C-alpha cells in the first residue's frame, strides 16, 4: 500500500519546519512512527522525517529538552515529569497525541518464579497473578536475613514504575523499602536478567516475550490486566517547539492518526511485524515480535500463547486521545510515591501538558471523530462502551478500584501503602473538589 499519491487535507507549504527529527526506543509501540515513515504517511503531509533510535528514555528527554530532537516517542508520564522538574531537567513539555494503550508486562526470572511457587497457597500459579506470593516470600527472606529482591523499571517516573508499584502495594509490599528498584533501558532487560542482576522487571514488548522464549522468565501479569486500556506512550514535544511550529505539529499528528489507524487493522499486523522487527528499529526476532502484535501473549515457555487481542491498541478505543484525566492519575502516583514532593495545582498541570484541543484540530481536518470532553472516570467499565458515538474499551483496574479525576486527593487517601512527601492538608487546600460537568461517569 502506497499512500504518497493520496491528496492530503493539509497544505505542506505551511510547514514551519519540514525536516523533523523524531526519537524512539526499540519497542513494539514505536509502530505508528515506523509505519508513518515506511508507508509514506509523513511524506504526504510534506514532512521529511528522520527517525532516531535512542538508547534510553533519559536520552529521549534530554535531546528533546535541548532541541536535538524535535519530537519523540515518550512515556506518557515524561512530559508531566519534565514540566514539573522531576529529575535533572525542568523543561515544559506537552503531548497532544497518544501512540498506544497497554503494551507492558511484569516478568520474573524462572528462579524467582519457582521460589514464589513454594510459598503460593493455591499452587500452581496461573497468570495473571496477584503480588500476594511475592509478599510472603519477601517477608520470609527478610526474616532469614537475605538481601532484598531487585526489580527493574525503564525510567524512575515511567508508567511501568507506577504499574509495578501499584501491583506490589496491593499486597502490602512497600517498593521503596521491601525491594530494590533499579533503572534498566528496555533493550537491556533480558541481558540483565540473564546475568542474574535483576529478579524481575516491568517493560514493554518485545522484551517480555524474548525472556519467555529464551526460558529466562515468566510473565505474572500484563499492563492490560492491571488497568484495562490504560495509556502508555505518547508523541512528546517541548512546549516551546509546539508554539513555534504549530502547523508542523498538526501535520505530524495528522500523519500519525492515519498511520495508527492503519496499524490497528488486523490485516496489517503481519506487515507491521516485518517493518518494526528490522535491525534499524526494534531489532528483535520476528517470531518474538509477532506474538503480541498479532493479538496473543505467551506467559511461559511451557505454555501456548493465549488470545489477548487488546494487548496492543494503537487507534481503537480513542487510543490517540490524550485524556487529561489520565494525566491527573499519573500526577496522583507521583505524589503517592514522593516523586513529586510538593503540592501543585493538579488540574492546571494536566491541562497545560495534555492537549486534546490540538489533536481535535488535526482530527477535524481528517474528518475523524474524537471525544468532546477531556476527563473521564476510570475503573467503571468492565466491557466496551460508547461516548459521543465513539467506542471506548473497558477500563477496569485489577483491584476493582475506581478513579474520579474530580477528587484526586480522596483517591490518594485510599491507599494504605504510600510514601507521600507533601502533606495531605497542603494537597487538599490546593486541590479542592472542582465543580465541573466535564467528567463522564459510569452513568453516561
Q: What's the 3-state SS for 400-416?
A: CCCECCCCHHHHHHCCC
Q: Give dist(CA 36, CA 3) in Å, integer.
A: 10
SS percent in the chain: helix, strand, coil, step 5: 40, 20, 45
The pLDDT value recorded for residue 1 is: 40
Phi then psi for residue 440, to 5 deg, are -85, 140
Identify whether 53 is part of a domain: yes
pLDDT at 407: 93
Q: How many residues does the chain have?
A: 444
The pLDDT value recorded for residue 128 is 82
Instruction: Look at residues 323, 339, 316, 322 and name the one whose alpha carbon lies nearest to residue 394.
Output: 316
Q: What pLDDT, on a 0 to 100 scale, did the predictor assign at position 443? A: 45
The pLDDT assigned to 9 comes to 60
Q: Which residues span the domain enclosing 402?
A: 324-356+370-440
Q: Is residue 39 part of a domain?
A: yes
Q: How far is CA 438 from the centre of its chain?
A: 24
Does residue 316 form part of some domain? no
List 107's β-bridge partners, or say none.
201, 219
Same domain, 253 and 364: yes
Residue 10 within a domain: yes
> Does residue 361 have a cis peptide bond before it, meaning omega lies within 30 degrees of 0?
no
The verdict on 252 and 388 lying in the same domain is no
- Based on the domain organization, do 428 and 410 belong to the same domain? yes
Residues of the chain with pLDDT under 50: 1-5, 120-124, 435, 437, 443-444
We report the CATH number of the domain holding residue 99 as: 3.40.190.10
Q: Is residue 313 part of a domain?
A: no
On whether residue 153 sits in a domain, the answer given is yes
Q: Which residues of 75-90 are buried (b: 16+ CB within 10 A; e: fewer)?
A: bbbbbbbbbbebbeee
Q: Are residues 351 and 288 in the same domain?
A: no
User: Using CA atoms, how far apart are residues 5 and 160, in angstroms rounded to an integer?
Assistant: 40
Q: How far apart are CA 25 and CA 301, in angstroms?
A: 26
DSSP string, 77-108: THHHHHHHT-SS----EEEEEE--EE-EEEEE
Please state the separation of Cα 148 from the chain's center in Å. Answer: 27
Q: Are 227 and 205 within one domain?
A: yes
State whether 155 and 200 are in the same domain. Answer: yes
Number of domains in the chain: 2
Q: What is the pTM of this model?
A: 0.94
- 378 shares a domain with 365: no
The pLDDT assigned to 8 comes to: 58
Nearest C-alpha neighbor of 297 from the set 106, 116, 26, 73: 106
Q: Are residues 268 and 345 in the same domain?
A: no
Is 110 in the same domain as 240? yes
Q: Is 402 contained in some domain?
A: yes
**pLDDT value at residue 2:** 46
Does 296 lie in the same domain as 249? yes
If asked whether residues 169 and 104 sit together in one domain, one would say yes
Concatenated DSSP letters for 327-338? HHHHHHHHHHTT
317 in any annotated domain = no
43 and 98 in one domain? yes
User: Can the peptide bond before residue 128 be classed as cis, meaning omega within 30 degrees of 0?
Assistant: yes
Amino acid at each position: 500500500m502506497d499512500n504518497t499519491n493520496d491528496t492530503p487535507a493539509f497544505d505542506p507549504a505551511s510547514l514551519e519546519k519540514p525536516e523533523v527529527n523524531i526519537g524512539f526506543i526499540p519497542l513494539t509501540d514505536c509502530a505508528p512512527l515506523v509505519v508513518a515513515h515506511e508507508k509514506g504517511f509523513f511524506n504526504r503531509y510534506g514532512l521529511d522525517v528522520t527517525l532516531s533510535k535512542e538508547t534510553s528514555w533519559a536520552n529521549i528527554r534530554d535531546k528533546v529538552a535541548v532541541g536535538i530532537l524535535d519530537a519523540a516517542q515518550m512515556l506518557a508520564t515524561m512530559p508531566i515529569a519534565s514540566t514539573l522538574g522531576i529529575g535533572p531537567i525542568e523543561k515544559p513539555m506537552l503531548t497532544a497525541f497518544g501512540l498506544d494503550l497497554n503494551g507492558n508486562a511484569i516478568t520474573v526470572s524462572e528462579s524467582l518464579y519457582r521460589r514464589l511457587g513454594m510459598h503460593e497457597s493455591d499452587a500452581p500459579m496461573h497468570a495473571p497473578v496477584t503480588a500476594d506470593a511475592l509478599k510472603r516470600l519477601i517477608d520470609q527472606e527478610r526474616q532469614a536475613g537475605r538481601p532484598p529482591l531487585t526489580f527493574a523499571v525503564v525510567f524512575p517516573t515511567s508508567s511501568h514504575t507506577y504499574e509495578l508499584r501499584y501491583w506490589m502495594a496491593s499486597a502490602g509490599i512497600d517498593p521503596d523499602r521491601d525491594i530494590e528498584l533499579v533503572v534498566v533501558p528496555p533493550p537491556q532487560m533480558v541481558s540483565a536478567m540473564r546475568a542474574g542482576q535483576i529478579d524481575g522487571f516491568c517493560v514493554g514488548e518485545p522484551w517480555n516475550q524474548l525472556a519467555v522464549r529464551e526460558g529466562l522468565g515468566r510473565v505474572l501479569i500484563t499492563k492490560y490486566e492491571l488497568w484495562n486500556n490504560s495509556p502508555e506512550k505518547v508523541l512528546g514535544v517541548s512546549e516551546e517547539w509546539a508554539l513555534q511550529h504549530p502547523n508542523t505539529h498538526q501535520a505530524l499528528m495528522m500523519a500519525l492518526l492515519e498511520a495508527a489507524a492503519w496499524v490497528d487493522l488486523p490485516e496489517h499486523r503481519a506487515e507491521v511485524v516485518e517493518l518494526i522487527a528490522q535491525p534499524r528499529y526494534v531489532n528483535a526476532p520476528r517470531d518474538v515480535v509477532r506474538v503480541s502484535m498479532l493479538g496473543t501473549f505467551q506467559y511461559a515457555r511451557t505454555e501456548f500463547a493465549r488470545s489477548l487481542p487488546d494487548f496492543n491498541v494503537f487507534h481503537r478505543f480513542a487510543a490517540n486521545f490524550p485524556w487529561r484525566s489520565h494525566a491527573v492519575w499519573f500526577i496522583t502516583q507521583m505524589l503517592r510515591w514522593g516523586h513529586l514532593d510538593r503540592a501543585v495545582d493538579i488540574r492546571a498541570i494536566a491541562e497545560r501538558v495534555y492537549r486534546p484541543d490540538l489533536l481535535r484540530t488535526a482530527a477535524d481536518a481528517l474528518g475523524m471523530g474524537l471525544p468532546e470532553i477531556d476527563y473521564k472516570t476510570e475503573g467503571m467499565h468492565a466491557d466496551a462502551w460508547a461516548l459521543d458515538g465513539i467506542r471506548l474499551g473497558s477500563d477496569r483496574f485489577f483491584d476493582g478500584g475506581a478513579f474520579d479525576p474530580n477528587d484526586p486527593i480522596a483517591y490518594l487517601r485510599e491507599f494504605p501503602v504510600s510514601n507521600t512527601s507533601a502533606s495531605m492538608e497542603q494537597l487538599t487546600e490546593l486541590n479542592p473538589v472542582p465543580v465541573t460537568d466535564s467528567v463522564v461517569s459510569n452513568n453516561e
